[in-house]
Amino acid sequence: MSEKKPQLQREALQIRARARNKKPAFLRHESWRDTKFSESWRRPRGLDNKIRQKVKGWPASPSTGYKGPKVARGLHPSGYREVLVYNAETVVTIDPNTQAIRIGHTVGKRKRALIIAEAEKLQIKLLNPDIVLEETVVPEIDKEAAKLEQKKEKEKEKKREEKKKAKAKEDKLKAKKSKEKKK
């Protein structure tokens, strides 16, 4: 499948990369002094904390001003917008030029295989296809479908037989009543 990244999305990714380069590394307070503090950001809550007070010369703290550019928000690194999919019917509504599919984690093997097949048919990019191999699931689906059809046929046959038996009983009762009336 060929890459179909539109120019607009490519530019948005470049803008996001430039903004990321300007953004400082947000360090946890005193992580540089003691090894027991990891560098991963934790909000300082102390009354006299210089980072919380945003004192000049101290590391920057995260704020909304560091948010990424609006055009690039929600874009996957591949340049597509992510769309969460739970069934094969919603795959049809997706635009293959700008959107990519991420299959929901609660989707089972059977539906996942159907979604993958539909996406390949429509040439839509899948962001998490490697979880299930389609070749191993499709024969199982065919076997299960055949079993379900056989089960339904057996149930229909049982219902027909029950109706015939019920009708035969009714006919016998009617015959008895008609004989009693004649006497």
126-149 tens-digit pLDDT: 999 876 555 555 566 677 778 888
Mean pLDDT of 57-84: 92
59 Cα distance to chain centroid? 38
Q: What percent of the chain has pLDDT over 90?
A: 58
- Say how many CA atoms lie within 13 Å of 26 toward its Cβ: 14
Q: How far is CA 138 from CA 31, 125, 173, 183, in A?
A: 53, 20, 53, 68
DSSP 8-state code for residue 49? -
DSSP 8-state code for residue 71? G
DSSP 8-state code for residue 126? B
